[in-house]
Amino acid sequence: MILCTAILSGCEKDDFCTKDPVTPKLVLRFYDANDRDQLKKTERLSIWAAGKDTIPTYRSVALDSVAIPLNTTTIETVYHLKINDFDGNLASNETATLTIQYTPEEEFVSRSCGFRIIFNNVRFSSDTSWIQDFTPAPLTTIDHQNTAHVQIFH
Protein backbone atom coordinates (compact mmCIF):
# COMPACT_ATOMS: atom_id res chain seq x y z
CA MET A 1 0.00 0.00 0.00
CA ILE A 2 2.72 2.44 1.03
CA LEU A 3 4.76 1.33 -1.95
CA CYS A 4 1.84 1.90 -4.28
CA THR A 5 1.20 5.34 -2.79
CA ALA A 6 4.86 6.18 -3.29
CA ILE A 7 4.65 5.09 -6.93
CA LEU A 8 1.49 7.12 -7.29
CA SER A 9 3.00 10.34 -5.97
CA GLY A 10 6.27 9.67 -7.78
CA CYS A 11 4.51 9.65 -11.13
CA GLU A 12 2.91 13.06 -10.74
CA LYS A 13 5.48 15.03 -12.74
CA ASP A 14 7.18 12.36 -14.78
CA ASP A 15 7.14 13.77 -18.26
CA PHE A 16 9.58 16.57 -18.83
CA CYS A 17 9.97 18.06 -22.25
CA THR A 18 12.93 16.26 -23.76
CA LYS A 19 12.32 17.45 -27.30
CA ASP A 20 14.88 20.00 -28.37
CA PRO A 21 14.23 22.17 -30.18
CA VAL A 22 10.45 22.38 -29.96
CA THR A 23 10.05 25.35 -32.28
CA PRO A 24 12.53 25.05 -35.16
CA LYS A 25 15.09 27.72 -35.86
CA LEU A 26 16.15 28.81 -39.32
CA VAL A 27 19.30 26.97 -40.39
CA LEU A 28 21.66 28.71 -42.81
CA ARG A 29 24.70 27.04 -44.38
CA PHE A 30 27.41 28.98 -46.14
CA TYR A 31 28.94 27.73 -49.39
CA ASP A 32 31.65 28.92 -51.72
CA ALA A 33 30.14 30.86 -54.62
CA ASN A 34 32.89 29.63 -56.97
CA ASP A 35 32.72 25.97 -55.94
CA ARG A 36 29.07 25.48 -54.99
CA ASP A 37 29.50 22.06 -53.31
CA GLN A 38 32.12 23.35 -50.96
CA LEU A 39 31.25 24.76 -47.53
CA LYS A 40 32.90 28.07 -46.86
CA LYS A 41 33.18 29.65 -43.46
CA THR A 42 32.17 33.24 -42.93
CA GLU A 43 34.92 35.34 -41.38
CA ARG A 44 33.97 37.43 -38.34
CA LEU A 45 30.25 36.81 -38.79
CA SER A 46 27.82 38.72 -36.60
CA ILE A 47 24.05 38.32 -36.79
CA TRP A 48 21.34 40.56 -35.41
CA ALA A 49 17.68 41.12 -36.16
CA ALA A 50 16.53 44.59 -37.21
CA GLY A 51 16.25 46.78 -34.13
CA LYS A 52 17.83 44.23 -31.77
CA ASP A 53 21.22 43.44 -30.28
CA THR A 54 23.62 40.93 -31.82
CA ILE A 55 22.77 37.31 -30.98
CA PRO A 56 25.35 36.51 -28.26
CA THR A 57 26.47 33.21 -29.83
CA TYR A 58 26.97 34.83 -33.24
CA ARG A 59 29.29 37.71 -32.46
CA SER A 60 32.25 37.87 -34.85
CA VAL A 61 32.58 34.11 -35.33
CA ALA A 62 33.86 31.91 -38.15
CA LEU A 63 31.17 29.36 -39.01
CA ASP A 64 29.75 27.51 -42.00
CA SER A 65 26.37 26.89 -40.37
CA VAL A 66 24.09 28.92 -38.08
CA ALA A 67 20.65 28.42 -36.51
CA ILE A 68 18.72 31.61 -35.81
CA PRO A 69 15.25 32.07 -34.29
CA LEU A 70 12.35 33.59 -36.18
CA ASN A 71 9.96 36.01 -34.53
CA THR A 72 6.83 33.93 -33.92
CA THR A 73 4.61 36.89 -33.12
CA THR A 74 5.00 38.55 -36.53
CA ILE A 75 4.97 37.40 -40.18
CA GLU A 76 8.40 38.72 -41.01
CA THR A 77 11.89 38.69 -39.52
CA VAL A 78 14.68 40.85 -40.91
CA TYR A 79 18.23 39.74 -40.14
CA HIS A 80 21.47 41.59 -40.73
CA LEU A 81 24.53 39.42 -41.35
CA LYS A 82 27.86 41.12 -41.07
CA ILE A 83 31.12 39.57 -42.26
CA ASN A 84 34.61 40.85 -42.49
CA ASP A 85 36.79 38.87 -44.87
CA PHE A 86 39.78 41.21 -44.71
CA ASP A 87 41.27 42.61 -41.55
CA GLY A 88 38.63 43.07 -38.88
CA ASN A 89 38.60 46.84 -39.28
CA LEU A 90 35.26 48.53 -39.11
CA ALA A 91 35.70 50.02 -42.57
CA SER A 92 35.94 46.62 -44.23
CA ASN A 93 32.71 45.22 -42.68
CA GLU A 94 30.18 43.98 -45.20
CA THR A 95 26.57 43.69 -44.09
CA ALA A 96 23.82 41.77 -45.89
CA THR A 97 20.12 41.92 -45.12
CA LEU A 98 18.12 38.69 -45.20
CA THR A 99 14.36 39.07 -45.00
CA ILE A 100 12.23 36.04 -44.11
CA GLN A 101 8.45 36.17 -44.54
CA TYR A 102 6.16 33.37 -43.36
CA THR A 103 2.83 32.29 -41.95
CA PRO A 104 3.29 31.01 -38.38
CA GLU A 105 1.14 28.06 -37.30
CA GLU A 106 0.68 26.68 -33.80
CA GLU A 107 0.98 22.93 -33.43
CA PHE A 108 0.39 20.98 -30.23
CA VAL A 109 3.31 18.73 -29.28
CA SER A 110 2.70 17.27 -25.81
CA ARG A 111 1.68 18.07 -22.23
CA SER A 112 5.21 18.94 -21.18
CA CYS A 113 6.39 20.61 -24.40
CA GLY A 114 3.19 22.54 -25.08
CA PHE A 115 2.65 24.18 -28.45
CA ARG A 116 5.35 24.83 -30.99
CA ILE A 117 5.35 27.15 -33.98
CA ILE A 118 5.99 25.95 -37.49
CA PHE A 119 6.48 28.34 -40.39
CA ASN A 120 4.56 27.92 -43.62
CA ASN A 121 4.88 29.68 -46.98
CA VAL A 122 8.38 30.79 -46.16
CA ARG A 123 9.90 33.28 -48.62
CA PHE A 124 13.42 34.62 -48.50
CA SER A 125 14.83 37.77 -50.00
CA SER A 126 18.21 39.41 -49.75
CA ASP A 127 19.86 42.61 -50.88
CA THR A 128 22.84 42.32 -53.20
CA SER A 129 25.92 42.38 -51.03
CA TRP A 130 28.37 39.67 -49.95
CA ILE A 131 25.52 37.15 -50.42
CA GLN A 132 25.85 36.41 -54.12
CA ASP A 133 23.11 33.84 -54.33
CA PHE A 134 20.95 31.62 -52.15
CA THR A 135 18.57 28.67 -52.40
CA PRO A 136 15.76 27.78 -52.23
CA ALA A 137 13.90 30.35 -54.28
CA PRO A 138 10.38 28.83 -54.01
CA LEU A 139 8.13 28.58 -50.94
CA THR A 140 9.06 26.18 -48.21
CA THR A 141 7.95 25.04 -44.75
CA ILE A 142 10.17 25.15 -41.68
CA ASP A 143 9.07 22.35 -39.33
CA HIS A 144 12.39 20.80 -38.36
CA GLN A 145 15.97 21.77 -37.78
CA ASN A 146 17.79 18.68 -39.04
CA THR A 147 19.03 20.06 -42.35
CA ALA A 148 19.74 23.52 -43.70
CA HIS A 149 16.77 25.56 -44.91
CA VAL A 150 18.85 28.01 -46.87
CA GLN A 151 22.17 27.61 -48.65
CA ILE A 152 23.99 30.89 -48.94
CA PHE A 153 26.74 31.32 -51.54
CA HIS A 154 29.44 33.86 -50.99
Partner 1 sequence: MFRYSISFIFLLFCSLGYAQEKAMEVPSEEKDSLVYKTAYGLRLGADISKPILASFNGNYTGFELVADYRINKKIYIAAEIGFEEKTSVEEYSNSTSKGNYIRVGFNYNAYDNWLDMNNEIFTGVRYGLGIFDQTLNSYTPNVNSLYFPSESINASITDSGLTAHWTEFIVGIKVETLRNLFVSTSISYKIVLAVNDPENFKTLFAPGFGRIFESGTGFGFNYTISYLIPFTKK
Segment contacting partner 1 by CB under 8 A, of 33-41, 65-73, 120-128, 132-140: 65-73
What three-state secondary structure class fits 131? coil
Per rule CB under 8 A, is residue 72 in the interface with partner 1?
yes
What are the backbone angles phi and psi of residue 129, rounded to the nearest 5°?
Answer: -150, -135
Segment contacting partner 1 by CB under 8 A, of 37-45, 80-88, 102-110, 136-144: 102-110
Q: Which of 90, 91, 108, 128 contacts partner 1 by CB under 8 A?
A: 108
User: Considering only CA atoms, which of 16, 22, 20, 26 is closest in space to residue 108?
Assistant: 22
State the minimum distance, in angstroms, from the CB of residue 29 to partner 1: 20
**Cβ–Cβ under 8 Å, residues 46 and 58:** yes
Euclidean distance between CA atoms 118 and 54, whole angstroms: 24
State the minimum distance, in angstroms, from the CB of residue 104 to partner 1: 9
